[in-house]
Amino acid sequence: MIRQDAHRIDPKRRTIIDPKKRQFAAPIYKQQDYPFRLNLYDTPPTAEITLEQFEQWAIDRLKILAEIEACSYRNKSPAETASHITPLLQKFLPLSSNTSSATGAADLRLKNERQKDHYSHFILRLAFSATEDLRRRFARAETMLFRFRFQNDDSRERRAFVESLSLDWEPVSDEERHEVNESLASSTPGLRRVDEETWYKVDWEKVPELIERRNVFLKKGKAYVPGREQLSMIMAEFTARLERSLELTSRALPRLDEDDRLTPILNHLSKNFGSADSVYTEGEGHVDGTAITASSIDSLSQHFPLCMRNLHTNLRKDNHLKHFGRLQYTLFLKGIGLSLEECILFWRQSFKGKTDDEFNSQYKYNIRHSYGDVGGDVNRRGRGYPPYSCQKILQDNNVGVGQAHGCPYRHHSVDNLVGLLQSTGVHDKEVLRGVREDVGKQRFHIACNRVFEWSHKSEIKKVKEDGTWTQADLDTIVHPNTYFKRSYLLKQLAKAPSRDT
Ligand code: SF4
């Protein structure tokens, strides 16, 4: 599936293949046609793609799944979730219906979209099959995505897709329906007349949603399902197939270790479910046209996320920060666009109790190192290290007492966290209750996004109303530098007169 010229391959690794593993080593090439927009992902892809496509397509899909999961964590209604992910899907994973294709060029676009959808699903299947928790989360997010697409599909295409599946649904004959007429009427809520529906018999395990709601007649292990509950049946089918496939994939995973091109990419993807730092690119946190200087940091700190605000407050209180705090904060400041010279000036002015000699000998080198001005990996010379993502900060298990780095949502006790939030002006009881709940469920970055949305709610409302930003500009924040930039821009836009005034 990966084009051979796309990356270095260790020839020794490729030639030594256990004959027992041959079914994994030599896939039979099969061209995919994609007659439908929807896909149950039964057939793995075998055509060639480049390593870059492999990674980028997976990242794009991951972005969508992470947003779907974030919506569910934030208890968004189906309508709110739909309005949130529609523009994101359009941007990262568009999937048009057949009726949108009228020309040859459109046909090619359709095929490319469907190929990307197909491949990205299977790549993430590999990435998320390793543990039970990842499999469960992946299956849940994928099912929600499939449900969304199914509901929004063109009705004729949807019918053709369902018919193509040859599902194991046995139509109920008129005679049998007549026999169980009363039972159907009493067990199926919202029914006007039994004979107005087309009925199917399916294994009861295939419709757990209906069984749970007690909305279906059961007899001899079969559920009698009206045609209008097709969505439930399809969803159950989709989830069951996916869960089964994920199990099988997890058993085949160790064989992938033979491929040193894919394993690092897959590991990186699986670590980033929910707070994917792979979507952040260096320089993204810069605000164009705004001079960021040592003297502007105090006023800009109102836009910092809690992790960086906490570092700034501690720095001002103690005129000092410990090593890891300095490192986390320096990289963040670099990420917002503070130059090396201004950064050195910032730290020099902040460490009030130190002499010039002490500052130069103990601290200056590390600041220059973070910017890539000295030392470090040759590849990073001149660039230094990228600012830390939420994922990286959250995964730090070495934040001890008396240290200010890390993420307060994860590394503070809940009471200290609430106290810290209140000190920054977050007093809303509902928000603080939500934060406690998020933190209790270890959804730290969701708590951070909750606070962001609350503290910028009037600005968000304004930019949405005047059309300056769409929901796609307001996806879940997974990087402190994105938090800063979005906060800063929102406050600037809110000051500007509305477009229609
Ligand atoms: Fe900082 Fe991310 Fe934690 Fe928010 S979730 S406080 S941005 S590390």
Residues 229-245: pLDDT tens digits?
Answer: 888 888 888 998 999 99
Specify the residue with its C-alpha closest to ligand 1, atom 2: 390
- Regarding the beta carbon of 406 and ligand 1, being less than 6 Å apart is answered no
- Regarding the beta carbon of 236 and ligand 1, being less than 6 Å apart is answered no
Give the least confident one: 182-191, 324-333, 458-467, 477-486: 182-191
Q: Are 225 and 232 in contact (CB under 8 A)?
A: yes
d(CA 397, CA 458): 36
Q: What is the pLDDT of residue 289?
A: 77
Q: What is the pLDDT of residue 237?
A: 86
Q: How far is the CA of 259 from the centre of ligand 1 (A)?
A: 34
Q: For a pocket test of ligand 1, which of 435, 445, 479 has the largest count of ligand atoms closer than 8 A to its C-beta?
A: 445
Indicate the pairing of strand 222-226 with strand 170-171: unpaired
Tokens 């020309």, residue?
A: 103
Specify the amino acid at residue 443.
R
> Cα angle at 292 between 288 and 295, to 5 degrees?
160
- Regarding the beta carbon of 145 and ligand 1, being less than 6 Å apart is answered no
- Regarding the beta carbon of 305 and ligand 1, being less than 6 Å apart is answered yes
Specify the amino acid at residue 307.
C
Q: How far is the CA of 179 from the centre of ligand 1 (A)?
A: 62
Q: Work out the pLDDT band at 498, boundaries 50, 70, 90.
A: low
- Regarding the beta carbon of 315 and ligand 1, being less than 6 Å apart is answered no
Q: What is the pLDDT of residue 117?
A: 96
Instruction: State yes or no: pLDDT of 339 exceeds 80.
Output: yes
pTM of the model: 0.64
Instruction: State yes or no: pLDDT of 22 exceeds 70.
Output: no
279-325, pLDDT tens digit by residue? Answer: 556 667 788 777 899 999 999 999 999 999 999 999 999 999 999 99
Q: Are 34 and 103 in contact (CB under 8 A)?
A: no
Alpha helices in 97-154 (DSSP H): 104-127, 132-151
Sheet with 199-203, side-by-side order of all strands: 170-171, 199-203, 222-226, 217-219
**HSE of 366, CA atoms in CB hemisphere, 13 A:** 16
Q: Are 157 and 96 in contact (CB under 8 A)?
A: no
- Regarding the beta carbon of 439 and ligand 1, being less than 6 Å apart is answered no
Joined together, the tokens standing for residue 357 give 């000699």
* Gyration radius of the chain over CA positions: 27
CA dihedral in degrees (211, 217, 220, 225; nearest 10)?
-80
Q: How far is the CA of 267 from the centre of ligand 1 (A)?
A: 22
Q: How far is the CA of 70 from the centre of ligand 1 (A)?
A: 15
Longest dimension (CA), the chain: 96
- Regarding the beta carbon of 329 and ligand 1, being less than 6 Å apart is answered no
d(CA 347, CA 375): 20
d(CA 423, CA 290): 28
- Regarding the beta carbon of 448 and ligand 1, being less than 6 Å apart is answered yes
Q: How far is the CA of 69 from the centre of ligand 1 (A)?
A: 18
- Regarding the beta carbon of 409 and ligand 1, being less than 6 Å apart is answered yes
Going from N- to C-terminal start, the domains of the chain cover: 51-163+241-278, 164-231, 294-406+456-495
Q: Are 485 and 285 in contact (CB under 8 A)?
A: yes
Q: Which atom of ligand 1 is nearest to the CA of 410?
A: 3
- Regarding the beta carbon of 483 and ligand 1, being less than 6 Å apart is answered yes
- Regarding the beta carbon of 336 and ligand 1, being less than 6 Å apart is answered no
pLDDT, the chain, mean:
84
Alpha helices in 51-200 (DSSP H): 51-73, 78-92, 104-127, 132-151, 155-164, 174-179, 181-187
Q: What are phi and psi of 161, to 5 degrees?
A: -65, -50
Q: How far is the CA of 495 from the centre of ligand 1 (A)?
A: 26
User: Taking Cα atoms as reference points, which of 142, 141, 65, 66 lies closest to residue 390?
Assistant: 66
Q: Which atom of ligand 1 is nearest to the CA of 308?
A: 1
d(CA 46, CA 53): 14
Q: Are 209 and 235 in contact (CB under 8 A)?
A: yes
Q: How far is the CA of 306 from the centre of ligand 1 (A)?
A: 6
Q: What are phi and psi of 476, to 5 degrees?
A: -65, 135
Determine the average pLDDT of the residues in 154-167: 83
Q: Which atom of ligand 1 is nearest to the CA of 477?
A: 7
Q: What is the 3-state secondary structure (H, E, C) of 320-371?
A: CCCHHHHHHHHHHHHHHCCCHHHHHHHHHHHCCCCCHHHHHHHHHHHHHHHC
203: enclosing H helix or E strand: strand 199-203
